[in-house]
Amino acid sequence: MGTENETIEYKIEKASTTKGLVSAERKYDILFTNSGIAMLLVEGAVKTGIGGFGAADLVLNKVIRDDKIEKERSGYSGMSVQDMLKKSDKNVYFPYSEVKSVNLKKSLVGCTLALEAGEEKYKCNFSTSQMDIANKALSSHLADKVK
């Protein structure tokens, strides 16, 4: 569950994440600390805010969702990593020693980080603008586990 002296070194924001083969998509901020990986829930199972089919509805739903994510993220402000992890039972933490494998790929639509840690497998999708951060985090702490 993280250590008392845990410091955040790298952060990937708003990663769409699924666990296992069948799972609801959630959004997490992924923190790479000095001793492990913390995944902090910033949006629960994705639901749309307003019905309809027009482009304006899509834009409005995105604005509403982004506002909710920022509100949730601000709730973590000033907390230790340990306290952040306690905020939701959907938050997870893995010491680097428990990570079995990790794979990072870039595509036209974004980046995918596949993580196997403990008995869990996660697939995390995030924007290509965060690829450098992901590469630095992995090379700093998990270079020997990258596939």
DSSP state of 88: -
pTM above threshold 0.85: no
User: Tens place of pLDDT for every residue, the chain, 147 residues?
Assistant: 566 788 999 999 989 887 765 566 788 999 999 999 999 988 875 544 444 555 544 444 555 566 676 777 777 888 889 999 999 999 999 999 999 999 999 988 899 999 999 889 999 999 999 999 999 999 999 999 998
Contacts of 85 (CB under 8 A, 6+ apart): 1, 2, 38, 40, 91, 92, 93
Supply the CATH classification number for the domain 8-145.
2.30.29.30
